[in-house]
Amino acid sequence: MPRTDNVLDRNDSLRSHLTTVYASLCVMLFTAAAGSVAHLYFNIGGTLTMLAGVGLLVLLAVDPDKNDVVKRLATMAAFGFFKGASIGPLIAYAAEVDPRFVVMYFQFRVLSPLTLIMYCAASFLSLSLELQLCSCASR
């Protein structure tokens, strides 16, 4: 019976890639939350922050230097901040109507997709592990 190792234990490049992806996703999530809070305290959100976010997203897409990780992460964090600030008026309105809406929004718009992404990644890794086990068993 072959020993069942975790796929991530054998593939360091895959582990490094997934760590980078989830770390950058967390940075963007926290900067978007900071942008929403900044709107609630300083009233900075609106059309201008939405246009700045779109401009940063276009800059991120057309940037010719794809290897400058610090610059790309800073641009993505700024995009997250401006995106959070641009949806700040919606969050402020929902908090005025009923503060429970903000918690429900966080549960359904943030936690549900993250859970789905993690489930898909786990399913992919378990499928690749099963395929490797089948190929080892057939030898």
* pTM value > 0.75: no
The fraction of the chain above a pLDDT of 70, given in percent, is 68
- Residue 22: pLDDT band (50, 70, 90) is confident
Q: How far apart are CA 14 and CA 51, in angstroms?
A: 35
Report the pLDDT value the prediction gives residue 51, as an integer from 0 to 100: 95
Report the pLDDT value the prediction gives residue 26, as an integer from 0 to 100: 82
Cβ within 8 Å of residue 72, ≥6 positions away: 60, 63, 66
Q: Which tokens sit at 90?
A: 């919606």
Q: Is the pLDDT of residue 1 over 50?
A: no
Give residue-wise pLDDT tens across range 76-127. Answer: 999 999 999 998 888 888 778 877 777 776 666 666 666 666 666 666 655 5
- Residue 10: pLDDT band (50, 70, 90) is low
Of the candidates 128, 138, 25, 46, which has an alpha carbon nearest to the alpha carbon of residue 92? 46
User: Alpha carbon of 99 to those of 42, 51, 96, 108: distances in Å?
Assistant: 19, 28, 7, 15
From the CB of residue 17, how many other CB atoms can be counted at a distance below 10 Å? 11
- Quick check: 32 and 90 in contact, CB under 8 A? no
